[in-house]
Amino acid sequence: MPTPHDLASRVPFWQPVLLGAMAGGMGWGIRGQYGHETGAMIAGLLLGLVLALIFRPAGASLLVARAVAFCTIAMGFGGSMTYGQTVGLTHDAPLVGNWAALRWGMLGLAIKGGLWIGFAGAFLGMGLGGKRYRPGEILLVHLGLLGLWALGVWLLNSPFDPASKVLPSIYFSDDWRWEPGADLKPRPEVWGGFLLALCGLLAYTRLARRDSLALRLGLWGVLGGAIGFPLGQGLQAYPAWNPEVFRTGIWADLDRHMNWWNHMETTFGATMGGVLALGVWWNRERIAALEEDAPSELGPAVEGVLAAVHAALVVMQEFFSVPVVEWLYDNGLVLGLVMLVAVAGGRWWPYLLILPVTALPIAGKTLRELVYRSPAIAPVPGWALYILLPLTLTTLAACYFARRPPDARAAFLRPALLLAAWLYFGLNYAFFRFPWPWAEWTSRTPNAIVFTVCLLGLTWAALFSGRRHLGRTPIA
């Protein structure tokens, strides 16, 4: 019988790169409607499921679920970094033609994008490398990361006193250097905190835990984000810098249907997903077999309390104005603390994180948009369709997967990928007001077509990818 390394060695590089780009592109493009940390977790989830399915479909279920959950959580950390004004440096009307502002903005996007995806790569490596990170260790390490974050903000993102026009010496948002006479509202930046925290994480995993895969995938994540964010923004900036191209002919008709911001996000996601997937393929021999039993260290009661606490905090942070909670959960590292500890030590939490925990804020934001902000459906059917149905399906699926033996084969990957891909595509399609390609086109239609292609690719992966190599390996 072939070993896991034998199976991984047979995977052609283009397969994870293509499917990773589809997962990252659709996930990050959908994030554009939902925003911030919890929106970015969609991309981490889809990408983690795809890579686990390709490289460890026969691993122990709980270990594989933890790896996917780690990637999902860490993909959300960078949502705390402000980047709207950094994007603006490259395409805002007053700055078009200013090559210095363009270069500076692209440099800022490369740094922020690299840090954002670097965490996802590092935590994915921590899950796939075979090292056991226990909940107490995760708690202490994460508290250390928060300390490094605070130190980095103080060192690199201070002082910040816009009223006196005093800004950090390295500042990637719009300021009076670029628009001297403008009435600006500079945003506080925190990329310095994430820089020190990521360096601390990579140093700990490599030096203290001898986890080479975490370091390597962390650096591949940095590469993917550093390439992807400027590349996507280059696509968005092109029409602003070259308006004459879009004034006549087919390009003029195309431009009025293009949501360039969402295409920027989709390009960013596809690039980072493809690059990180290439990194996993390149280091496939370092992925552990993930065949040993993975005992849970948190009892069901503790897991339940952590689930209730996290759900309550997320709902308050996303949908209610609770200053203390907003202050805490506005930091992606703080948001991830409870989730990481629960996933590292629990038997139920990895599956809950992959399915209902990630779905909760997305379903809620869809309901808020379509029932309350821009009513498109009545409250009763809206609650049934956008809250009860997705959360019931994901919770039941998570409980079913969690009840199987911890060392059983990761058979959850295929149905979980199908459920997640179709769920987030469907919620986003409703958010887009169902832009069917045969109906009159809107600015949402081109993105919806791209997401449809990605969805079909992920569906193919869930149904057929790797089956000929797995054969009829029995499920424990």
Answer for the pair 353, 69: CB distance below 8 angstroms, yes or no. Answer: yes
Q: How confident is the model at residue 294 (pLDDT cuts 50, 70, 90)?
A: low
- The whole-number pLDDT of residue 467 equals 65
Residues 35-81 have pLDDT tens digits of: 889 999 999 999 999 999 999 998 999 999 999 999 999 999 998 89
Strand partners, 166: 161
Name the residue among 29, 36, 26, 71 with its Cα closest to residue 361.
Answer: 36
The pLDDT of residue 6 is 58
CB 11 within 8 A of CB 54: yes
Q: For the segment 346-355, what is each residue's pLDDT rounded down to a tens digit? A: 999 999 999 9
Per-residue model confidence (pLDDT) at position 5: 60
Per residue in 172-211, pLDDT (tens digit) is 999 999 998 888 899 999 999 999 999 999 999 999 999 9
- Kindly tell me if the per-residue pLDDT of 473 is higher than 60: no
Of 340, 473, 339, 459, nearest to 410 (Cα)?
A: 473
User: Which sequence spans correspond to the domains of the chain?
Assistant: 4-470
Q: What is the C-alpha to C-alpha distance for residues 122 and 109, in angstroms, rounded to an integer? A: 20
Phi-psi region of 116 (alpha: psi -120 to 50; beta: other; left: phi over 0): alpha
Q: What is the pLDDT of residue 285?
A: 93
Question: Percentage of residues in the chain with pLDDT exceeding 70?
Answer: 95
Please state, in angstroms and rounded to a whole number, the distance separating the CA atoms of residues 12 and 18: 11
| pTM of the full structure | 0.94
- In 294-339, DSSP assigns E strands to none
Asked if 86 contacts 112 with a C-beta cutoff of 8 angstroms, the reply is yes
DSSP letters, 367-389, are: HIIIIIIS--S-HHHHHIIIIIH
Examine the pLDDT at 474 and tell me if it is beyond 50. no
Tokens 């390597």 identify what position? 216
Work out the pLDDT band at 410, boundaries 50, 70, 90: confident
Q: Mean per-residue pLDDT for 273-281?
A: 98
Residues 445-469 pLDDT 10s = 999 999 999 999 999 999 988 665 4
Mean model confidence pLDDT for the chain:
91
Mean pLDDT calculated for residue range 94-114: 96
Residue 146: pLDDT above 50?
yes
Does the pLDDT at position 472 exceed 80? no
Residue 470 has pLDDT above 60, yes or no: no
